[in-house]
């Protein structure tokens, strides 16, 4: 060891760590250092502490001033290096050796004072969790880099490709660091090693699979492009993209990235084709495709080109107070995918090879998995079914998820952007609303109320024979042979396995369309639910309203075959309930502004009136955009 290294070793053996900001939190100190320590109160003379809502706390010299903080015990060189990395030593902060006063007298210590970045700029407001997450990711990326040959001419791209291909595992490791602070280095490397890089070699052994490879590859490649752009949006537009910790972390950044990629699908395909990766090539490995997609993302991304997307999202925002969620289903076969066999779906074979192509590892930010309406496929479960995107889902196993947003505009735009991005026939949209804690359920809804909801969000369309039908019900797409009509149900969502679940009501009747606004439906569902908290259409054997709900089910199915008009009185009563619920959200729950609610109440009434006019022969069409 050189002389300088010997001096540092001697200093670290004697000097403690004086902390005054984020590291004063023992849980943060443990995540960063991997050690649990007992801190003692200490004072640093000759410095002043500066705190601001727009930056981290920092200290700088000032004669006569003093800073109160805590003294942690001495650490070894490796731990000091971790602290340097966390504090971005040399830029954000600068490490200094100081003397602090304790109850036992003066003590030598290291501390971190304001660095050039803090002194030169007014830093944005950054949450502590963001800094901890960035530090954890640095540790993981360092472990990944150890497995990438340094002499490669595309070293940086390969490094990023490994990070992309291990993205889902990395995300779980970050969450586990918060759950189990101080995850040792060897365990981190072991967990990464267990999460093997996906491969294309299996295609050479699976005779039936290669004919589907081009469709899977195109979804994989554009998803990697999306992931890369979403990450840059989240980093470069962090102020605009940040959401409350209780909601889906990527709500804004994913929306901007989905919209941007959706508008550039043509150029993306052209670039990928020019690189020879748009089709399956047995000579290429999964990592080669990932490198190409990352290159395309870099070519496509430009801050100035993305900024208008972020700005438009900010302009359209209108957050309420009710946490909302959604799940979207896609299939080239539509409802026929349930129970389908080999080759029925010529593009994806009912997503039978979802796990083989590691689509879950690519679509983790969007909660991608396969749903055959019987069992989800969290781990190597071969089934045919819908591609489902469950935004906000953290883990399939255990059904861990966050609500997506409290903003119906954001949720509607996310659904539209996902449909454009996926480019697979959209099928259904499940909408969930978090219920007020402790509020008892009210009476079951009336038939007229449910018909109004179906008019707003169902699939009322005219068949080739000229007959108007509600196709979701008429085709029994939401009909369970064991329980009956799956119109709505109670569910529970939790963020952590040990956390208390939140009660939600999930509406399963809406159709997922191309280029469609769901804001009117979302506002109607919120107002309807908040007004009287009606129970779902529960058809289970132990339902307290089973007889009534069975009659309601029969009436809904009959209406779906030949929809009739809803009386003016029933429409007015429904609108009154929605208005009552939205007024409650505004006044009691600090929800939307009154003007926003009035606008969407008018749009809801307009759509209901348009339907009635069509049924009564007074209008040529009722399918209108709101």
- Please report the domains of the chain, with CATH numbers, ordered by start residue: 3-125 (3.10.490.10), 198-324+332-423 (no CATH), 425-626 (no CATH)
Q: What SS3 string covers 528-566?
A: HHHHHCCCCCCCCCCCCCHHHHHHHHHHHHHHHHCCCCC
Directed axis angle between helix 77-86 and helix 3-14, to 10°? 90
Q: Give the number of other CB atoms < 10 A from CB of residue 388.
A: 26
The secondary structure of residue 354, as a DSSP letter, is: T
189-194 long-range contacts, CB within 8 A, separation 24+: 189/143, 189/146, 192/140, 192/143, 192/144, 192/166
First to last CA, the chain: 72
pLDDT mean values, one per 10 residues, the chain (626 residues): 48 82 85 87 92 69 90 91 88 91 94 82 53 68 69 74 84 66 58 79 93 97 97 91 89 97 97 94 95 95 96 95 96 94 95 95 94 64 88 70 95 98 97 93 94 96 85 92 90 74 94 95 97 93 93 96 94 97 96 96 94 75 48
Question: 426 pairs with which residues across the strands?
Answer: 330
Predicted pLDDT at 619? 52
d(CA 415, CA 521): 13
Asked if 174 and 181 count as a contact pair (C-beta separation under 8 A), the reply is no
Spatial CA neighbour of 473 closest among 454, 488, 456, 489: 454
Give the helix, strand, coil percentages of the chain, each rounded to 5. Answer: 45, 20, 35
Task: Give the number of other Cβ atoms within 10 Å of residue 305's Cβ.
Answer: 12
At residue 290, the pLDDT reads 95
Q: What is the 3-state secondary structure (H, E, C) of 341-394?
A: CCCCCCCCHHHCCCCCCCHHHHCHHHCEEEECCCCECCCCCCCCCEEEEECCEE
Position of tokens 């959401």?
243
Contact (CB, 8 A) for 301 and 215? no
Using CA atoms, how far apart are residues 293 and 303, in angstroms rounded to an integer?
18
- Angstrom distance (rounded) from CA 388 to CA 32: 36
pTM value? 0.80
Polymer length in residues for the chain:
626
Two structure tokens written together for 525: 């569902």
Q: Residues 429, 415: contact at Cβ < 8 Å?
A: yes
Owner of token pair 């208008």: 308
Task: Determine the Cα–Cα distance for residues 166 and 360; give it in Å rounded to an integer.
Answer: 11
């Amino acid at each position: 060891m050189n002389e300088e290294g010997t001096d540092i070793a001697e200093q670290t053996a004697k000097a403690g760590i004086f902390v005054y900001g984020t590291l004063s939190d023992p849980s943060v100190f443990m995540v960063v250092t991997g050690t649990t320590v007992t801190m003692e109160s200490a004072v640093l003379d000759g410095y002043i502490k500066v705190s601001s809502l727009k930056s981290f706390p920092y200290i700088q010299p000032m004669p006569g001033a003093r800073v109160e903080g805590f003294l942690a015990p001495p650490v070894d060189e490796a731990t000091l290096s971790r602290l340097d990395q966390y504090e971005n030593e040399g830029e954000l902060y600068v490490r200094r050796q100081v003397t602090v006063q304790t109850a036992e007298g003066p003590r030598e210590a290291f501390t971190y004072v304001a660095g050039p970045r803090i002194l030169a700029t007014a830093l944005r407001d950054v949450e502590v969790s963001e800094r901890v997450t960035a530090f954890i990711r640095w540790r993981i990326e360092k472990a990944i880099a150890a497995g990438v040959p340094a002499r490669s001419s595309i070293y940086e791209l390969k490094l990023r490709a490994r990070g992309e291909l291990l993205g889902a595992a990395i995300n779980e490791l970050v969450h586990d660091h918060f759950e189990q602070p101080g995850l040792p280095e060897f365990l981190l490397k072991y967990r990464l090693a267990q999460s093997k890089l996906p491969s294309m070699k299996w295609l050479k052994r699976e005779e039936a699979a290669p004919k589907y490879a081009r469709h899977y590859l195109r979804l994989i490649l554009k998803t990697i492009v999306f992931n890369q752009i979403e990450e840059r949006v989240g980093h470069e537009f962090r102020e605009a993209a940040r959401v409350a910790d209780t909601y889906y972390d990527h709500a804004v950044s994913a929306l901007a990235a989905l919209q941007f990629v959706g508008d550039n699908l043509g150029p993306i395909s052209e670039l990928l084709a020019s690189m020879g990766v748009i089709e399956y090539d047995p000579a290429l490995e999964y990592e080669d495709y990932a490198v190409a997609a990352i290159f395309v993302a870099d070519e496509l991304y430009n801050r100035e080109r993305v900024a208008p997307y972020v700005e438009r999202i900010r302009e359209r925002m209108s957050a309420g107070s009710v946490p909302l969620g959604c799940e979207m289903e896609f299939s080239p076969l539509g409802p026929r995918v349930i129970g389908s066999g080999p080759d029925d779906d010529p593009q994806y074979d009912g997503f039978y090879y979802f796990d083989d192509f590691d689509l879950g590892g690519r679509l983790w930010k969007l909660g991608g998995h396969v749903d055959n309406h019987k069992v989800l496929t969290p781990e190597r479960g071969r089934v045919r079914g819908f591609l489902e995107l469950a935004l906000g889902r953290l883990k399939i196993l255990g059904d861990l998820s966050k609500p997506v947003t409290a903003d119906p505009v954001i949720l509607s735009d996310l659904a539209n952007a996902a449909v454009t991005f996926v480019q697979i026939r959209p099928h259904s949209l499940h909408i969930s609303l978090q219920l007020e804690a402790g509020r008892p359920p009210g009476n079951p809804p009336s038939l007229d109320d449910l018909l109004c909801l179906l008019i707003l969000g169902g699939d009322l369309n005219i068949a080739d024979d000229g007959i108007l039908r509600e196709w979701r019900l008429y085709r029994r797409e939401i009909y369970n042979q064991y329980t009956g009509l799956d119109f709505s149900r109670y569910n529970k969502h939790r963020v952590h396995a040990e956390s208390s679940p939140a009660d939600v009501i999930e509406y399963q009747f809406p159709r997922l369309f191309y280029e469609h606004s769901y804001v009117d439906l979302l506002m109607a569902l919120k107002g309807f639910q908040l007004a009287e908290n009606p129970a779902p259409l529960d058809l289970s054997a132990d339902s307290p309203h089973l007889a009534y709900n069975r009659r309601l089910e029969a009436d809904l199915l009959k209406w779906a075959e030949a929809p009739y008009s809803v009386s003016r009185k029933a429409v007015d009563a429904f609108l009154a309930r929605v208005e009552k619920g939205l007024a409650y959200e505004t006044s009691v729950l600090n929800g939307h502004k009154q003007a926003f609610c009035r606008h969407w109440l008018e749009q809801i009434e307009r759509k209901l009136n348009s339907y009635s006019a069509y049924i009564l022969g007074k209008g040529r069409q009722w399918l209108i955009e709101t």
